[in-house]
Amino acid sequence: MVMNYNNIILLSDMDGTLLNTNGIVSEQNKYAIKEFVAKGGKFGIATGRNQMNSVMFLDGIELNIPCILYNGGALYDFKTKQFLLLCELEKTKLIEFLRFCLKEFPDIVILIFSPDQCSVISVKENTDPDFIAEHQPCEFCKMEDIIEKPWIKILFCGENKMLKSLEREMLKFDLENDVHCVFSSGIYMELLPCQTNKGSMLMRLRELMDKDYTIYAVGDYNNDIEMLSHADVGIAVHNAHPDLKEIADVTTVSNDESAIADVINHIL
Ligand code: G3H
C-alpha cells in the first residue's frame, strides 16, 4: 500500500519544537517534511515569530499551506509573500500601559510588531546581544515613531518574576477586552488582540481550505495551548511545558530528537 497524506495538515510551532536547542532544523526533520509533502501532505508553521524572521530558519522546507505567524496575529502565504489575514491591536489604552512600563519597568525589553517592521522601543544597557540577534531584522525607535502603523503584537522580554509583576499591573489599565496576554517562554510575555491566538487562527485556516483536512498540531509552550485544543490531534513534544502536555492528545520525543520527523514517521 502506498501511504499518502492527501487529507492531512501538519502545523508545527518553531521554537522548542521544529527548531532544536541550537535554533536549527535537523536534517531528519527536513527529510521527513520533504517526504510528507511529496506524499500529498500540507505542512505549515505556527509561530510567534514574524515572516521576515521565521523564514531565516526555514531554508529547504516547503511551506505548502498558509502559515500562522505572530502567535495567531496573522495568516501568511510564504509562496505569494502575502498576508491573508491580519489582526490589529487597539492602541488607545495600550499606549498608556506601555508608557507606564517604560517608566516603571526599565529592565524589560519591549518589541512592537507591525506587518513590515519589528521595532525595539526599550532596551536596557546590558541587553543580551543574542536576544536582539534573535529578533532580526529589527529597528530601534520610539513608540511615537510607529504610532500610525498597525500593531499586531507586543513582546515583553525580561525575568519571569518581573513579567508576572507587569502582568498584575496591567489589570489597572482595563485592557481585558482589548488584549490577549500569553507567555511564549519563561522570559517572553506577549500581548495580542483580544481572542487572538494560534488556535483562533487555526480555525480561520480550516475555513479557508478547499476541503476537510485532519489537522495535527505540534507545540511546546503555553502559546500553543489553543492551537493543540482546536487541532484534530494535539501533540506536545517531550520538552513541553506541563500545562501543554496536560491538554495534548499525544506526546512525542523532544525537539532535540527531531520531534517533527517522529510525528510524521510514527504518529500520522
Ligand atoms: O514569540 C516568539 C517566540 O520565539 C515564540 O515562538 O511560537 O515559535 O515558539 P514559537
Q: Which CATH number characterizes residue 104's domain?
A: 3.30.1240.10
Chosen domain end from 193, 208, 232: 193
Closest CA to 236 of 256, 223, 254, 214: 254
Instruction: Clarify whether residues 25 and 99 are in a common domain.
Output: no
Question: Has residue 31 been placed in a domain?
Answer: yes
According to the model, what pLDDT value does residue 125 have? 66
The contacts of residue 267 (CB under 8 Å, 6+ apart) are 216, 233, 235, 250, 252
Residues of the chain with pLDDT under 70: 1-2, 125-126
Q: What is the pLDDT of residue 46?
A: 98
Q: Establish if 3 belongs to a structural domain.
A: no
Atom of ligand 1 nearest to the CA of 13: 8
* The last residue of a domain, from among 138, 165, 193: 193
Instruction: Say whether both 59 and 112 belong to one domain.
Output: no
**pTM, rounded to two decimals:** 0.95
Which of these three, 193, 214, 237, is where a domain ends? 193
Could you tell me if 101 and 145 lie in one domain? yes
Q: Which atom of ligand 1 is nearest to the CA of 221?
A: 9
228 shares a domain with 179: no
| Residues 104 and 232 occupy one common structural domain | no
Tally of domains within the chain: 2
1 within a domain of the structure (yes/no): no
- Specify the CATH number for the domain of residue 52: 3.40.50.1000
Pocket mutation for ligand 1, best pick of 47, 136, 157, 237 (most atoms within 8 Å of C-beta): 47
Any residues with CB less than 8 A from the CB of 113 and at least 6 apart, and which? Answer: 50, 70, 73, 119, 151, 152, 153, 154, 155
Q: What integer pLDDT is reported at residue 12 of this predicted model?
A: 98
- Same-domain check for residues 104 and 79: no
- Pocket probe for ligand 1: among 19, 67, 68, 71, the residue whose CB has the most ligand atoms within 8 Å is 71
Q: What is the pLDDT of residue 2?
A: 53
- Residue 127 maps to a domain: yes
DSSP string across 39-67:
TT-EEEEB-SS-HHHHGGG-TT----S-E
What lines the ligand 1 site, CB under 6 Å?
A: 13-16, 47-49, 71, 155, 184, 188, 190, 221, 223
ipTM score assigned to the predicted complex: 0.95
Q: Which atom of ligand 1 is nearest to the CA of 16?
A: 9
Grid cell locating 151: 500593531
Q: Is residue 129 assigned to a domain?
A: yes
Q: What gap in Å lies between CA 39 and CA 146, rounded to an integer? A: 44
Domain assignment of residue 152, given as a range:
92-193
Question: Each residue of 1-38: b (16+ CB within 10 Å) or e?
Answer: eeeebeebbbbbbbbbbbbbeeeebbebbbebbeebbe
Distance CA 266, CA 148 (A): 48
Q: Is residue 205 part of a domain?
A: yes
pLDDT for 1 equals 47
- Note whether 189 and 201 are same-domain residues: no
- The answer to the question of residue 2 being in a domain is no
